[in-house]
Structure 1
């Protein structure tokens, strides 16, 4: 089991889904947490779950806001370092999806998605590098199977995740001299609010879920906890010789052939 006792971690998009699951997993491993998200009520619920998992409430910092906002990002990093005196882990998890192909993509929505999924990641990582260098820390980017395989019905999302994987590789090489490790996880389909937020009805999401089971070699979709445990591993010293990697957490979906 990874050991994150006393490690300070920033987790974006922590108010739901994989971000919330990762926060709770880190809490159970002894981490101190700086959590950010747009929904204050949901973010507080995440904090409550982290307390139940083992992190004292005074070792949890909540910063509510839009990660695309320069001031929110700076405030997040500044408050984290001020409160805890250090930064060991950055988990870039915040992300959105948008159902559209090339001919139906709305460019305003495209720009928003790229801002959340990519630009904000680069900008926040920039702010964190000086602090991560002091602790020889780690960055874990939450990508997607869509970064490894073409998914045309989510053109912009697939593009953003592919670019995120390239950012992971480039940043890993650039930051290796500072002993900062940078890796990605690439989940397959994980039941979260992403599909609903992307515009699918509950019925459509359920149909998608059932169809996706056969697209994963293990015959099922994944669980948030399975992704969270992989993120915790990559963030910990157990992964001390891993950097620049894209780790599929997808039940073998990346290895499947069209059929």
Structure 2
């Protein structure tokens, strides 16, 4: 798949699925904006892109803060002159407990990053995507569709909202030639995976999948690039699952 002369924004690009996606886009010839919160990690991803002759735009930003999120699309247009693809990948995961005093703090923080920030960035990106007949790929999760473990109310709710946002936006933007889709990974080895303490549950998570394995970031990146490409030109409003068979068990 060639993305030569395409401009792509990827949020949550400092590691995991976002980093893998950025590098693959660069490898396929795209100009990429990397968005993340950790400068050191972003620099490493940018260096990987440079191996393919690309000099990406690096933006250190917390997408949950409006004033920082608003700079992402504007700086991309200033640098590259257009926008073809938006990959909304930034997200957070925390365990929660609705009976604990801090539940609403966790819920609000999760929704602000996993849903509200995506709505804001997409809102700002849409006029430019209409111009290029571009597309949006949202990174959701199979957690939106299943309830296998307790104390994940905030995260599951945010991803379920994101899936419906994807479908609604696909319908709204179809007359303008803009496609909107989502991907839903199951367990994947990423930093968010480790920060949430899930690394200690690897054997349990593997056992919870039909294929008895946890996914890798590159696998999800492959799916994102497919949906963003002309090969998926008839696909909109869809959620593509890559979960090693988590849902079917």
Please state which band the TM-score falls in when normalised by the shorter chain: over 0.9
Q: Which residue of 62, 84, 88 maps to 1:88?
A: 84
Cα deviation code 1:116-173 (max 9, x no counterpart): 0000000100000000001110100000010121243311000000000000000000
Partner of 1:182 in structure 2? 180
Normalising to structure 2: TM-score of the pair? Answer: 0.96
Structure 2 residue matching 1:30: 3-state secondary structure: coil
Distance 1:61 1:217 in 2: 40
CA distance in 2, matches of 1:55, 1:128: 26
Q: Is the 8 A contact 2:97 2:103 kept in 1?
A: no
**Partners in 2 of 1:7 and 1:212 — Cα distance?**
37
Matching residue of 2:133: 136
Q: How many residue pairs end up in the alignment?
A: 247
Segments of 4+ moved more than 4 angstroms: none
Q: Does 1:147 align with 2:140?
A: no
> What RMSD in Å do the two structures reach over aligned CA positions?
1.2
- Counterpart CA distance in 1 for 2:109 and 2:187 is 22
Structure 1 CA distance for aligned equivalents of residues 239 and 5 of structure 2: 26
What TM-score do the two structures reach when normalised by structure 1? 0.92
Deviation at 1:196, TM superposition (A): 3.1
Q: Once the two structures are superposed, what CA deviation does each residue of 1:159-195 show, in whole Å capped at 9, x if it has no partner?
A: 0000000000000001101111000000010011113
User: Quick check: 2:193–2:199 contact (8 Å CA) kept in 1?
Assistant: no
* Partner in structure 1 of residue 243 of structure 2: 250
1:83-105 deviation digits (Å, cap 9, x = unpaired): 11110000000000011233235
Unaligned runs of 5+ in 1: none
Deviation at 1:4, TM superposition (A): 1.1
